């Protein structure tokens, strides 16, 4: 595999889509596939697919195409899914519970080992077998249990404080669902999921199509 330290963000965001389609192909028993066939499935051009995969070494053979199993495994490695990530969720309201249930059902590379909230009616409850702890215990728990990822599902007023606590505890990455841009050290990886911005984008697309159809 080639050095991927300077891979563009656009390529990185296409890789999970490749993985999803390859996973579906594997479940159907497909053993090999060409870039043209992948293009028809995914919607990217065959040239784009080859270019993306060549960034990491190619993985295809002239006249054969790609081994679905091998390419799926290699993309898992590129995405860092060949290891287990210990994860905590902070903010166990409706969104936090939905995220927790999704990850626990996903069962690939991510394990939720801790849930945290400040609401006394939630603290002490168990969600899918994981007990909700008081957020005052978060930093020590993260540090003592070598937590890799902190998932922030609380409101924006508390999100920065939660992020600071996670950083002090030693997380490697933060998955942020709070509607705020967080100030964190560059050594910490962060992925922001602003649901309202995604909904606003959808609103724009609907409006644009309405104008086109007039």
The strand pair at 130-134 and 126-127 is best described as antiparallel
Give the whole-angstrom CA distance, residue 201 versus residue 51: 28
Q: What is the DSSP letter of 108?
A: S
pLDDT value for 1: 47
The yes-or-no verdict on residue 32 having pLDDT over 60 is: yes
Please report whether residue 206 resides in a domain: no
Give the whole-angstrom CA distance, residue 43 versus residue 16: 14
Total number of domains constituting the chain:
2
Task: Please indicate if the annotation marks 91 as binding a ligand.
Answer: yes
Highest mean pLDDT among 49-63, 98-112, 165-179, 198-212: 165-179
| β partners of residue 88 | 114, 150
17 and 68, same domain (yes or no): yes
Enclosing domain of residue 137: 85-197
Give the whole-angstrom CA distance, residue 147 versus residue 60: 36
Please report whether residue 15 resides in a domain: yes
Please report whether residue 4 resides in a domain: no
Burial class (CB in 10 A: 0-12, 13-18, 19+), 189: middle
Task: Please indicate if the annotation marks 138 as binding a ligand.
Answer: no
Give the whole-angstrom CA distance, residue 205 versus residue 119: 38
Task: Please indicate if the annotation marks 93 as binding a ligand.
Answer: yes
- pLDDT exceeding 70 applies to what percent of the chain? 95
What is the residue-averaged pLDDT of the chain? 92
Highest mean pLDDT among 56-60, 62-66, 72-76: 72-76
The CATH number of whichever domain residue 66 belongs to comes to 1.10.10.10
The yes-or-no verdict on residue 36 having pLDDT over 50 is: yes
Please report whether residue 22 resides in a domain: yes
111 and 74, same domain (yes or no): no
Give the whole-angstrom CA distance, residue 186 versus residue 96: 25
Please report whether residue 209 resides in a domain: no
| β partners of residue 48 | none
Q: Tell me what the mean pLDDT of segment 31-48 comes to.
A: 94
Task: Please indicate if the annotation marks 96 as binding a ligand.
Answer: yes
Task: Please indicate if the annotation marks 30 as binding a ligand.
Answer: no
């Amino acid at each position: 595999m080639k050095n991927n330290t300077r891979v563009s963000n656009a390529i990185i965001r296409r890789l999970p889509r490749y993985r999803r389609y390859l996973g579906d192909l594997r479940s159907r028993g497909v053993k090999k596939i060409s870039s043209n066939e992948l293009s028809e499935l995914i919607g990217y051009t065959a040239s784009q697919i080859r270019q993306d995969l060549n960034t990491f070494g190619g993985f295809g053979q002239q006249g054969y195409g790609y081994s679905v199993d091998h390419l799926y495994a290699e993309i898992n490695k590129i995405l860092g899914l060949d290891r287990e990530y210990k994860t905590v969720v902070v903010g166990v309201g409706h969104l936090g519970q939905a995220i927790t249930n999704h990850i626990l059902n996903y069962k690939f590379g991510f394990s939720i080992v801790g849930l945290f909230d400040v609401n006394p009616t939630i603290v002490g409850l168990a969600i899918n077998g994981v007990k909700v702890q008081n957020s005052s215990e978060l930093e020590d728990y993260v540090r003592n249990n070598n937590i890799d990822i902190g998932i922030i599902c609380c409101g924006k007023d508390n999100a920065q404080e939660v992020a600071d606590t996670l950083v002090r505890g030693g997380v490697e990455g933060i998955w942020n669902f709070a509607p705020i841009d967080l100030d964190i050290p560059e050594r910490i990886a962060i992925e922001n999921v602003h649901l309202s911005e995604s909904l606003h984008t959808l609103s724009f697309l609907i409006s644009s199509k309405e104008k086109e159809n007039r």
